Copies of this chain bind each other. A is one copy, B any other.
Amino acid sequence: MADTQREISVSEFFAKNRHLLGFDNPRKALLTTIKEAVDNSLDACEEAGILPEILVEIDQLEEDRFRVAIEDNGPGIVKAQIPNIFGKLLYGSKFHSRRQSRGQQGIGISAAGLYGQMTCGKGPRIWSKTERGKMHQFEMQMDLTKNKALITKDEEHKDWHRKQGTRFEIDIEATYQRGLRSVDDYIKQTAVSNPHALIRFRAPGMTEEHIYERAVTEVPDLAEEIKPHPYGVELGELMKMLRNTNSRWLSSFLQEEFCRVGPKVAKDIIKAANLGERSYPSRIAREEANNLYRAIQKSKISAPPTTCLSPIGEERITEGLMKECDADFYAVSTRPPSVYRGNPFQIEVGIAWGKPGGDQLEVDEKGRIEKKKKKRTTDTEDLLGNADDTVRILRFANRVPLLFQQAGCGFTKAVMQTSWKNYGLSQSKSSLPIGSAVIFIHMASVWVPFTSEAKEAIAQYPEILKEVKLALQEVGRKLGVHIRRGKKVSSEFQKRSYIEKYLPHVGIGLQEILGLSMEDREEVVEALRDTMETTRKI
């Protein structure tokens, strides 16, 4: 048995388990390829302080094969890094840094290349130009067994249509379809959550390029990198840090290697752990490290700084929702930052709600009710949905739309666990609420805990669920007020229409009983109407 045991390369592993990376089927493979490349492009532009301009092109080669290209105006990539970034799984700068970014695993784009090579036999092609360098065109071949790539072609060109940037191109087995969870859907949602990006999109069947113009012309503030927070470090990690530190003394170790630890906090921790401030970190044994670990957990340490986060902001979310849904009501809530497993994160929730179709009742300044005919485009009705259907959830993590695995996502669970009946929506036990509404949920974090490498859904950490639920309750309460008010208007209108209908009959009755003249009758009816309208004001 022993002789068949051997190492499995990470490329081999993911090639066989490609559904883990989002390459389950040809349709999803197309989306994943584009998503990974666009994520990288947006990250690269923002890190360099450049307003992103992204081009996405899909060309059909054969019935089941497509050529996909993503091009950006980012800073470009130096030659030495090309085979690693595009041809090695688990390679990158974002994994080890504590800062919000779209990519984090160092898998995505290489996996797209791998999928292309597996299904169409050709590795990825890269064009790249740094500001001062020449444009290089590369062709690569990936070696699965060794998890590395070889550059098979490298041509230098003097001219390129861009001052700087990168173009990634790959042939893949795919299917192109529109509709929900399509590439089109993804690009539209990306434009909503990245209003500073200009996105140009061309796909089979389009007569011309679709351009998503940018709504703002400022690059979002670059999130800062932070040191680990003491609460988020486990015993094993702490022992490793103690072994590897350059700090000479325990006290300086705590202050230098962690955020939010000053001399006072360090002193308290060390005292609680029954250790000396001048202990040598590298000589601390497991039992002492365990005491230190327990002391940290019990100490009062401020929450990590949140400069590492870059939320979208209530204003932008409202704008985005208004652009995409013509609803009757909008509410947005950005929660203060929180922490799970030592990782800072922040939840933003928005809701758009509308009574679809039909008439809309509004109360004017004088308390009069007006009937307004509702104008809705088909497109909008799609997004808000039917009043009899479950609400639609738009999920985002670090500004990236999440289109799949909704059922298994922590966000969905949080929506289900919120009591929407309190806020005027109907809801069966542990289900999504019913109504023509869209719920927008965004998590900004230095590390998003996805349920799979395909980055499709958020793992159900209790701290995250709690924050999402609090944000949902905030927008829910506002929605509840609005819906109740609407119901009051609606029932008021109903009652008033009864008055309109029956008052004349009351008049006739009174006329007969009291023997009134026609004038008297009209007068009485008018007096009654006045009385009722003034006493029944809203």
Contacts and interface: CB of A to CB of B under 8 A. Distances in A.
A251 B8 CA distance: 30
A24 B460 contact: yes
A286 B122 contact: yes
A344 interface: no
Interface stretch (A90-98, A418-426, A529-537): A90-98
Contacts of A95: 8, 12-13, 16
Contacts of A144: 240
Interface string A433-472: 0000000000000010111110000011110000000000
A93 B6 CA distance: 6
A5 interface: yes
Contact of A235 (B90, B106, B121, B408): B121
Given A96-B8, A459-B24, A1 B75 contact: yes
Interface string A77-100: 110110011001011110111000
Contacts of A5: 81, 84-85, 91-93
B106 A237 contact: no
Contact of A120 (B16, B80, B235, B462): B235
Given A119-B235, A121-B235, A91 B408 contact: no
Contacts of A93: 1, 4-6
A279 to B, nearest CB: 17
A206 interface: no
A348 B14 CA distance: 28
A90 B19 contact: no
A352 interface: no
A527 interface: no
Tell me which of A77, A80, A237, A451 has the highest count of chain B C-beta atoms within 10 A of its own C-beta. A451
Given A1-B93, A2-B80, A93-B1, A106 B408 contact: no
Contacts of A1: 47-48, 75, 93
B7 A91 contact: yes
Interface in A13-29: 13, 16-17, 19-20, 24-25
A516 interface: no
A121 B90 CA distance: 26
A68 interface: no
Copies in the complex: 2
A303 interface: no
Interface residues of A, number: 67
B117 A236 contact: yes
A9 interface: yes
Given A121-B290, A122-B286, A452-B451, A4 B97 contact: yes
Contacts of A245: none
Contacts of A523: none
A450 B24 CA distance: 11
Interface in A23-78: 24-25, 47-48, 75, 77-78
A414 interface: no
Given A2-B81, A19-B459, A91-B5, A119 B452 contact: no
A514 interface: no
Given A47-B1, A235-B121, A236-B117, A7 B290 contact: no
B7 A88 contact: yes
A246 interface: no
Contacts of A10: 10, 90
A388 to B, nearest CB: 11
Interface in A352-398: none
A405 interface: yes
Nearest to A289: B121
A133 to B, nearest CB: 12
Interface string A289-301: 1100100000000
Contacts of A84: 5, 7
Contacts of A106: 8
A143 to B, nearest CB: 9
Nearest to A78: B2
A427 interface: no
Q: Which 10 pairs from chain A and chain B are nearest by CB?
A: A118-B236, A408-B408, A4-B93, A8-B90, A121-B235, A19-B459, A407-B407, A5-B93, A8-B95, A117-B236
13 contacts: A1-B48, A5-B85, A7-B90, A8-B90, A8-B91, A9-B90, A16-B95, A16-B447, A17-B453, A24-B460, A119-B235, A407-B408, A452-B452
Interface of A: 1-2, 4-10, 12-13, 16-17, 19-20, 24-25, 47-48, 75, 77-78, 80-81, 84-85, 88, 90-93, 95-97, 105-106, 117-122, 144, 173, 234-237, 239-240, 286, 289-290, 293, 405, 407-408, 447, 449-453, 459-462
